[in-house]
Structure 1
């Protein structure tokens, strides 16, 4: 691949353009908002100049509802040898293109499984996709050259290619992305009119659950409008679980011992199923989750504290597998939770204690 055209210079389009430009590909940028394309170009993502002729690959980074229109226009102009889109829904756009009678041998639907709560070109980074799955949904009609161009793009972005059927992809993202986002928003909505005294008690748990609720509502309306059926099916199942859970909790309020016992059994079953599902979430490097031990360290909110603690862990010969930070409400301090292999926990605790760090059990 020597040339590319990125149509749509938001977070995903600009990030892909930055990665391609960094690897020597000449990238042309286009957007319905010229100012957004100008910003992406200023960041080094490419040039606003139109290409002299067909490019090797056109990357359509438009909302799902607009993908078919943008792709059809680009194909009619003969803008590229191959065409892909990066929308988060795959089945609908493909069916729209088929209904228009277009030759889809030069097209493949794709979806990089990466993003941020922020949107727009200023939020873009060349390493946004690094190590992340990038779904490809070829059909029997997809030209081999186009598939190879798509794989080359994924390689330039240092992502991990995953081949799936388009409709299977849409059901999967409904489960792992779209439905959780709505549930996160529903939980966060409980905080909108909550008493300030209650909100001040927020800890890491509520932060984890509501983090993705900070995303742009306009973007999510576009996404959910393109994949409503699978998301609604999943929420129906969640609603049934909620009803059962409410009944179990009400039973725990009963004066009848048998009903209380039944309620406890119902809650235990919900928690058990949650445990069974959570352990299936891939862990580090996509492997099966591993049990790490946590070494919790109290740190002051001062420059260089995190760098020091990681450096001290390194000098102790301990690899930090994961890290979480729990911020203390109203205080200039926080609790850094270092996840390490169980056999390394005691050595790390001893080394950090000797260096003056405050360890919390």
Structure 2
């Protein structure tokens, strides 16, 4: 008999999870305070809408907003006394404490957090491959049953995620650095654009796009996330403020014509960034690999980018990463194609022979 999973909350994560679990052979039923949202999730292939005949889940996944997740977990533990209950909120300590304080059965509760998402929210943005290759942290309480932890791991693994196990405090400190502070930083940088002139914004290149990509996220959701992990995020931002103050002091010196010691601060700051970037996991979660970039001028016409990929494959060169930057006021884009260093000369020769404008 297949595992029956009840997904409570059919937004982006809940609907994506339902689609992925259905594809993996799980039996999925759906519930949401909004009947329209639940019906949309059903129509997208995330499962069937729950009714009285389906009130026997093995696993309940609470995909509710962070500020109500604990209440829904406690309610679910009480409603289904045989079921394992997990939640997918991006903060874990505050949820676990609230579940305990609310009288929830911590033996059947296992927190979890899929490190996946999109700038868009809601069921309409759901994808069945949202969790493929993404980290999924399973966060047991001190009294979670081993079989309960195993069931949550089984579901996360089934949807293609890379599962790890952490304690709540370790998890919250980690996501403050790798997820929550980057959101704040992107929002702050993007916020500086509000009063910049149109001609100045028109100069924006790929660097600004990279830094601000996640600044389009849902403000209401992120207000809840940051409130739930306030202490850990505050600690990281406080350290970041100290670094920023040091850079500002160095720039004050340089603006006044005094470079003594200031250039070292600037150089060290950028250098530390290099070290940090090098620690970010590379392809398939392996150690980072140093790639070379070949820039290809791609006409802004249907099929041009696909032709580039096809001809790279015909040349026997694997695409490792890609950034696409549109030319300012021009009918072409710049495809920054990342390849292993040994393939650069081969790729340049092959593309030039096929008429592409390229440079390394």
TM-score for the superposition, normalised by structure 2: 0.97
User: How many residue pairs are counted as aligned between the two chains?
Assistant: 358
Determine whether 1:87 maps to 2:95: no
In the TM superposition, what is the alpha-carbon distance from 1:302 to its structure 2 partner? 1.0
Secondary structure of 2:288 counterpart: coil
Q: Distance in 2 between matches of 1:80 and 1:336?
A: 54
The equivalences for 1:151-230 within 5 A come to 151-230=153-232
Secondary structure of 1:188 counterpart: helix
TM-score for the superposition, normalised by structure 1: 0.96
Q: Distance in 1 between matches of 2:24 and 2:238?
A: 46
Q: Is the contact made by 2:78 and 2:104 (CA closer than 8 Å) also made in structure 1?
A: no
Secondary structure of 1:261 counterpart: coil
User: Any gaps of 5 or more consecutive residues in structure 1?
Assistant: none
Match of 1:348 in 2: 347
Q: Which runs of 4+ in 1 moved over 6 A?
A: none
Q: Is the contact made by 2:57 and 2:80 (CA closer than 8 Å) also made in structure 1?
A: no
Q: Distance in 1 between matches of 2:80 and 2:184?
A: 39
In the TM superposition, what is the alpha-carbon distance from 1:309 to its structure 2 partner? 0.8
The farther-off stretch of 269-278 and 333-342 is 269-278
In the TM superposition, what is the alpha-carbon distance from 1:100 to its structure 2 partner? 2.3
Determine whether 1:324 maps to 2:326: no
Q: Distance in 2 between matches of 1:129 and 1:162?
A: 14
User: Any gaps of 5 or more consecutive residues in structure 2?
Assistant: none
1:221-264 per-position Cα deviation (integer Å, ceiling 9, x unaligned): 11111001111111111111111111101111224xxx313211
Secondary structure of 2:261 counterpart: helix
Q: Is the contact made by 1:54 and 1:79 (CA closer than 8 Å) also made in structure 2?
A: no
Q: Distance in 1 between matches of 2:348 and 2:102?
A: 64
1:9-61 per-position Cα deviation (integer Å, ceiling 9, x unaligned): 00000000001111222211111111111110111111113252321110000
Match of 1:62 in 2: 64
Q: Distance in 2 between matches of 1:198 and 1:190?
A: 12
Match of 2:103 in 1: 101
Q: Distance in 2 between matches of 1:274 and 1:235?
A: 16
- How well do the aligned residues superpose, as a CA RMSD in angstroms? 1.2
Q: Distance in 2 between matches of 1:51 and 1:224?
A: 37
Match of 1:12 in 2: 13
1:300-331 per-position Cα deviation (integer Å, ceiling 9, x unaligned): 11111111111111111111111111111222
Match of 1:247 in 2: 249
